[in-house]
Amino acid sequence: MTEHPILFSGQMVRAILEGRKTMTRRVIKPWPADPCGGFRLMDDGKTFMDFSMMVMGEPDNFDFNSEYTCPYGVPGDRLWVREAHIFDWDEELQDLILTFKADGEQHFIQDNAGRISLEQCNKWRPSIHMPRWASRILLEVVSVRVERLQEISQEDAIAEGIERVGGAASCSPWRNYLIGKPGEMSLHCSAPSRSFQTLWDSINASRGFGWDVNPWVWVIEFRKV
């Protein structure tokens, strides 16, 4: 069993804590040579082969760069969650106070042992800077597969942690994460997959991996330990 760090936004941290999120999709890098190609899981159970890299007429001859291993591990491995946080120093108790931005939960750390300096306190730190010992969420990888982003099912969209904002009688019961963005309608979504599309674009569109690009993604299913 190996541990790997993984970053989540505040809203996705809350979804994990509430038991709504049991799956995440991450863009495969580097991109496959042929975006219309495909992947095949090899016999070792952890290496995926981009078979669009096959040399024409030589089906057993693969380019070295066609091998992909998921950076988030294999079933049985664990993911420790990095999230936005802040450290404060309690002069009276001589304790370090760790506050998680997602929900305001606080942990009191009695033995700081010089791990955090006073200069690092009293300012919000992005998730990438969270040390392993400060992480509060540990996930176990259940399964890993590869697919195109737009292949997501309605069931998987719900497992991605999207929020329900309307009742059973509502025509738009799923949250639109782009409400308030320029050019976006102020309506929520009728289908889970559309809600996930807005969630994905709210995080990834500015990075060049928007829904319309339809990138290949790692699909990691997990359970909270």
pLDDT tens digit string along 99-108? 999 999 999 8
- Are both 157 and 71 inside the same structural domain? yes
For the chain, percent helix, then strand, then coil, each to nearest 5? 25, 30, 45
Contact of 27 with 204, CB cutoff 8 Å: yes
- Are both 50 and 126 inside the same structural domain? no
- Are both 101 and 211 inside the same structural domain? no
Residue 168 — left, alpha, or beta (φ > 0 → left; ψ -120 to 50 → alpha)?
alpha
Q: How far apart are CA 159 and CA 222, in angstroms?
A: 10
Contact of 107 with 87, CB cutoff 8 Å: no
pLDDT less than 70: residues of the chain: 32-38, 41, 43, 45, 50-65, 93, 112-114, 168-169, 183-185
- Are both 60 and 143 inside the same structural domain? yes
Beta bridge partners of 44: none
pTM: 0.85
- Are both 157 and 211 inside the same structural domain? yes
- Are both 27 and 93 inside the same structural domain? no
pLDDT for the residue numbered 199: 96
Residue 146 in any domain: the answer is yes
- Are both 28 and 54 inside the same structural domain? yes
pLDDT for the residue numbered 36: 60
pLDDT for the residue numbered 114: 67
- Are both 88 and 66 inside the same structural domain? no
Domains in the chain: how many in total? 2
Residue 188 in any domain: the answer is no
Residue 90 in any domain: the answer is yes
Range of the domain at 150: 3-80+138-163+207-224
> According to DSSP H, which parts of 27-170 are helical?
154-159
Quick count: other Cβ atoms within 10 Å of Cβ 209? 20
Residue 198 in any domain: the answer is no
pLDDT for the residue numbered 42: 72
- Are both 9 and 51 inside the same structural domain? yes
Residue 42 in any domain: the answer is yes
Contact of 144 with 77, CB cutoff 8 Å: no
- Are both 117 and 154 inside the same structural domain? no
Residue 19 in any domain: the answer is yes
